[in-house]
Amino acid sequence: MQPEIINGLFAISGAVAGAIISAALTLGIKQKTKERKELSVLLSKPKQLISVHDRLQDSIELFVAGRAAKTASHVDYYIANTGNSVLEDIKLTIETGSDTDIFGGCTPDTNFNASTLEDTIVSWNDDGSLTVEAKFLNPGDELSGYILLANMPTNIIVKYRAPGVTLKVLKDQDTERDSVFTNMIYEIAKQNLFLDVYLKLFIPAYRKQRRSEDF
Protein backbone atom coordinates (compact mmCIF):
# COMPACT_ATOMS: atom_id res chain seq x y z
CA MET A 1 0.00 0.00 0.00
CA GLN A 2 1.34 3.43 -0.94
CA PRO A 3 2.63 5.68 1.88
CA GLU A 4 0.15 8.39 0.92
CA ILE A 5 -2.77 6.01 1.42
CA ILE A 6 -1.41 4.81 4.77
CA ASN A 7 -0.91 8.40 5.95
CA GLY A 8 -4.42 9.23 4.78
CA LEU A 9 -5.89 6.31 6.70
CA PHE A 10 -4.02 7.36 9.84
CA ALA A 11 -5.28 10.92 9.42
CA ILE A 12 -8.87 9.75 8.94
CA SER A 13 -8.72 7.33 11.88
CA GLY A 14 -7.21 10.06 14.05
CA ALA A 15 -9.97 12.48 13.10
CA VAL A 16 -12.64 9.86 13.80
CA ALA A 17 -11.08 8.99 17.16
CA GLY A 18 -10.89 12.68 18.05
CA ALA A 19 -14.54 13.17 17.12
CA ILE A 20 -15.58 10.17 19.23
CA ILE A 21 -13.59 11.38 22.24
CA SER A 22 -14.98 14.91 21.85
CA ALA A 23 -18.53 13.58 21.62
CA ALA A 24 -17.98 11.35 24.66
CA LEU A 25 -16.64 14.27 26.71
CA THR A 26 -19.54 16.48 25.64
CA LEU A 27 -22.03 13.77 26.56
CA GLY A 28 -20.29 13.21 29.89
CA ILE A 29 -20.45 16.91 30.75
CA LYS A 30 -24.13 17.08 29.80
CA GLN A 31 -24.92 14.00 31.88
CA LYS A 32 -23.00 15.41 34.83
CA THR A 33 -24.79 18.76 34.76
CA LYS A 34 -28.22 17.33 33.94
CA GLU A 35 -30.65 17.29 36.86
CA ARG A 36 -30.94 13.79 38.28
CA LYS A 37 -33.45 12.94 41.00
CA GLU A 38 -32.73 9.58 42.57
CA LEU A 39 -33.66 7.97 45.89
CA SER A 40 -31.82 4.80 46.91
CA VAL A 41 -32.97 2.36 49.58
CA LEU A 42 -30.66 -0.32 50.96
CA LEU A 43 -31.98 -3.20 53.06
CA SER A 44 -29.72 -5.56 54.98
CA LYS A 45 -30.04 -9.31 55.08
CA PRO A 46 -32.70 -10.29 57.67
CA LYS A 47 -31.17 -11.54 60.91
CA GLN A 48 -33.01 -14.14 62.97
CA LEU A 49 -33.37 -13.07 66.62
CA ILE A 50 -35.13 -16.11 68.12
CA SER A 51 -34.35 -19.72 67.29
CA VAL A 52 -36.41 -22.75 68.34
CA HIS A 53 -35.03 -26.20 67.64
CA ASP A 54 -37.04 -28.27 65.17
CA ARG A 55 -37.69 -30.93 67.81
CA LEU A 56 -39.34 -28.36 70.08
CA GLN A 57 -41.45 -26.42 67.58
CA ASP A 58 -44.51 -28.62 68.19
CA SER A 59 -44.17 -28.11 71.95
CA ILE A 60 -43.49 -24.37 72.05
CA GLU A 61 -45.97 -21.70 70.99
CA LEU A 62 -44.24 -18.42 70.26
CA PHE A 63 -45.95 -15.03 70.21
CA VAL A 64 -44.25 -11.90 68.89
CA ALA A 65 -45.99 -8.57 69.51
CA GLY A 66 -49.24 -10.41 70.20
CA ARG A 67 -49.27 -12.61 67.12
CA ALA A 68 -48.29 -16.26 66.68
CA ALA A 69 -44.94 -16.52 64.93
CA LYS A 70 -42.09 -18.94 64.35
CA THR A 71 -39.38 -16.39 65.08
CA ALA A 72 -38.51 -12.68 65.19
CA SER A 73 -36.07 -10.91 62.88
CA HIS A 74 -34.18 -7.67 62.39
CA VAL A 75 -33.49 -5.67 59.20
CA ASP A 76 -31.38 -2.52 58.84
CA TYR A 77 -32.52 0.08 56.32
CA TYR A 78 -30.72 3.01 54.74
CA ILE A 79 -32.37 5.72 52.64
CA ALA A 80 -30.18 8.16 50.71
CA ASN A 81 -30.48 10.88 48.09
CA THR A 82 -28.05 9.56 45.48
CA GLY A 83 -29.00 12.12 42.84
CA ASN A 84 -27.80 15.69 42.36
CA SER A 85 -31.04 17.51 43.21
CA VAL A 86 -32.97 18.16 46.40
CA LEU A 87 -35.85 15.74 47.09
CA GLU A 88 -38.83 17.15 48.99
CA ASP A 89 -41.81 15.71 50.87
CA ILE A 90 -40.51 12.16 50.90
CA LYS A 91 -42.98 9.49 52.00
CA LEU A 92 -41.75 5.93 51.67
CA THR A 93 -43.48 2.71 52.76
CA ILE A 94 -41.86 -0.64 53.56
CA GLU A 95 -44.08 -3.73 53.37
CA THR A 96 -43.20 -7.33 54.23
CA GLY A 97 -46.14 -9.47 53.10
CA SER A 98 -49.06 -11.12 54.87
CA ASP A 99 -47.00 -13.64 56.88
CA THR A 100 -44.63 -11.04 58.36
CA ASP A 101 -45.47 -7.90 60.34
CA ILE A 102 -43.25 -4.99 61.32
CA PHE A 103 -43.85 -4.44 65.03
CA GLY A 104 -41.04 -2.09 66.03
CA GLY A 105 -37.91 -0.22 65.10
CA CYS A 106 -36.21 3.09 65.73
CA THR A 107 -36.33 6.72 64.70
CA PRO A 108 -33.76 7.03 61.90
CA ASP A 109 -30.29 8.40 62.47
CA THR A 110 -29.09 10.97 59.94
CA ASN A 111 -25.75 12.12 58.55
CA PHE A 112 -27.00 15.71 58.77
CA ASN A 113 -28.31 17.95 61.55
CA ALA A 114 -32.11 17.93 61.52
CA SER A 115 -33.60 21.29 62.50
CA THR A 116 -36.66 19.79 64.24
CA LEU A 117 -37.93 16.38 65.32
CA GLU A 118 -40.54 16.60 62.57
CA ASP A 119 -37.86 16.59 59.84
CA THR A 120 -37.95 12.78 59.87
CA ILE A 121 -40.95 10.74 61.06
CA VAL A 122 -41.40 6.96 61.31
CA SER A 123 -44.84 5.42 61.81
CA TRP A 124 -46.03 1.83 62.13
CA ASN A 125 -49.25 1.12 60.27
CA ASP A 126 -52.14 -1.19 61.19
CA ASP A 127 -51.44 -3.42 58.18
CA GLY A 128 -47.96 -4.29 59.49
CA SER A 129 -46.06 -1.89 57.24
CA LEU A 130 -43.71 0.99 58.06
CA THR A 131 -43.77 4.55 56.72
CA VAL A 132 -40.75 6.86 56.72
CA GLU A 133 -41.26 10.57 56.02
CA ALA A 134 -38.75 13.37 55.52
CA LYS A 135 -39.36 17.02 54.68
CA PHE A 136 -36.42 17.05 52.29
CA LEU A 137 -33.09 15.37 51.55
CA ASN A 138 -30.16 17.18 49.98
CA PRO A 139 -27.82 15.22 47.66
CA GLY A 140 -25.78 12.89 49.86
CA ASP A 141 -28.19 13.05 52.81
CA GLU A 142 -28.85 9.67 54.42
CA LEU A 143 -31.32 8.17 56.90
CA SER A 144 -30.54 4.90 58.68
CA GLY A 145 -32.51 2.77 61.10
CA TYR A 146 -33.77 -0.74 61.76
CA ILE A 147 -37.06 -2.61 61.86
CA LEU A 148 -38.18 -5.55 64.01
CA LEU A 149 -40.39 -8.19 62.46
CA ALA A 150 -42.51 -11.16 63.46
CA ASN A 151 -41.19 -14.10 61.37
CA MET A 152 -38.53 -13.90 58.66
CA PRO A 153 -39.45 -11.76 55.63
CA THR A 154 -39.22 -13.45 52.24
CA ASN A 155 -39.98 -10.43 50.07
CA ILE A 156 -39.69 -6.87 51.36
CA ILE A 157 -41.43 -4.32 49.13
CA VAL A 158 -40.49 -0.62 49.07
CA LYS A 159 -43.14 1.78 47.77
CA TYR A 160 -42.34 5.36 46.78
CA ARG A 161 -43.61 7.54 43.97
CA ALA A 162 -42.71 11.12 43.11
CA PRO A 163 -42.68 12.99 39.79
CA GLY A 164 -39.36 12.62 38.00
CA VAL A 165 -37.67 10.66 40.81
CA THR A 166 -36.01 7.29 40.17
CA LEU A 167 -36.23 4.75 43.01
CA LYS A 168 -33.39 2.24 43.40
CA VAL A 169 -33.82 -0.61 45.89
CA LEU A 170 -30.94 -2.88 46.96
CA LYS A 171 -31.95 -5.87 49.09
CA ASP A 172 -30.02 -8.40 51.19
CA GLN A 173 -26.98 -6.14 51.31
CA ASP A 174 -23.84 -6.37 53.42
CA THR A 175 -24.04 -3.41 55.81
CA GLU A 176 -20.61 -3.89 57.37
CA ARG A 177 -18.78 -1.71 54.85
CA ASP A 178 -17.41 1.57 56.11
CA SER A 179 -19.93 3.76 54.30
CA VAL A 180 -23.43 2.74 53.33
CA PHE A 181 -23.61 5.65 50.90
CA THR A 182 -20.44 4.39 49.24
CA ASN A 183 -21.95 0.90 49.18
CA MET A 184 -25.00 2.22 47.35
CA ILE A 185 -22.89 4.03 44.76
CA TYR A 186 -20.79 0.88 44.33
CA GLU A 187 -23.84 -1.31 43.69
CA ILE A 188 -25.30 1.21 41.25
CA ALA A 189 -21.97 1.42 39.37
CA LYS A 190 -21.93 -2.37 38.95
CA GLN A 191 -25.29 -2.21 37.17
CA ASN A 192 -24.09 0.40 34.64
CA LEU A 193 -21.94 -1.29 31.97
CA PHE A 194 -20.03 1.82 30.84
CA LEU A 195 -19.46 3.12 34.38
CA ASP A 196 -18.38 -0.34 35.54
CA VAL A 197 -15.81 -0.65 32.73
CA TYR A 198 -14.54 2.91 33.28
CA LEU A 199 -14.03 2.41 37.03
CA LYS A 200 -12.31 -0.93 36.45
CA LEU A 201 -9.83 0.77 34.13
CA PHE A 202 -9.02 3.85 36.21
CA ILE A 203 -9.87 3.10 39.88
CA PRO A 204 -7.58 0.40 41.36
CA ALA A 205 -9.65 -0.06 44.54
CA TYR A 206 -12.82 -0.60 42.51
CA ARG A 207 -11.04 -3.01 40.16
CA LYS A 208 -9.69 -5.01 43.12
CA GLN A 209 -13.13 -5.25 44.74
CA ARG A 210 -14.80 -6.37 41.50
CA ARG A 211 -12.12 -9.02 40.93
CA SER A 212 -12.64 -10.39 44.44
CA GLU A 213 -16.34 -10.83 43.68
CA ASP A 214 -15.65 -12.73 40.46
CA PHE A 215 -13.86 -15.52 42.29
Whole-angstrom CA distances from 88 to 37, 62, 201 are: 11, 42, 36
Question: Residue 10: what pLDDT?
Answer: 46
Q: What span, in angstroms and rounded, lies between the C-alpha atoms of 124 and 131?
A: 6
User: What is the Cβ-side half-sphere exposure of residue 35, based on CA atoms within 13 angstroms?
Assistant: 6
Question: Residue 29: what pLDDT?
Answer: 53
3-state secondary structure of 190: helix
pLDDT tens per residue across all 215 residues of the chain? 544 444 444 444 455 555 555 555 555 555 556 788 999 999 998 998 887 777 777 777 777 777 778 888 999 999 999 999 999 999 999 998 777 888 888 878 888 887 666 778 888 888 888 899 999 999 989 998 999 988 888 889 999 999 999 999 988 877 655 455 566 666 777 777 777 787 778 777 777 777 776 65
Q: What span, in angstroms and rounded, lies between the C-alpha atoms of 108 and 131?
A: 12
Question: Residue 5: what pLDDT?
Answer: 46
Contact assessment for residue 135 and residue 89, using Cβ atoms and an 8 Å cutoff: yes
* Residue 182: other Cβ atoms inside 10 A: 10
Q: What span, in angstroms and rounded, lies between the C-alpha atoms of 181 and 178?
A: 9
Parse the chain into domains and list their residue ranges.
Answer: 36-176, 178-215
* Residue 11: other Cβ atoms inside 10 A: 10
User: What is the Cβ-side half-sphere exposure of residue 181, based on CA atoms within 13 angstroms?
Assistant: 12
Topology of the domain comprising 36-176: Immunoglobulin-like (2.60.40)
**Count of all residues that appear for the chain in the document:** 215
Q: What span, in angstroms and rounded, lies between the C-alpha atoms of 134 and 120?
A: 4
For the stretch 99-139, pLDDT in tens is 788 888 887 888 888 766 677 888 888 888 889 999 999 99
User: What is the Cβ-side half-sphere exposure of residue 117, based on CA atoms within 13 angstroms?
Assistant: 1
Element (DSSP H or E) covering residue 173: strand 166-173
Whole-angstrom CA distances from 153 to 71, 97, 170 are: 11, 8, 15
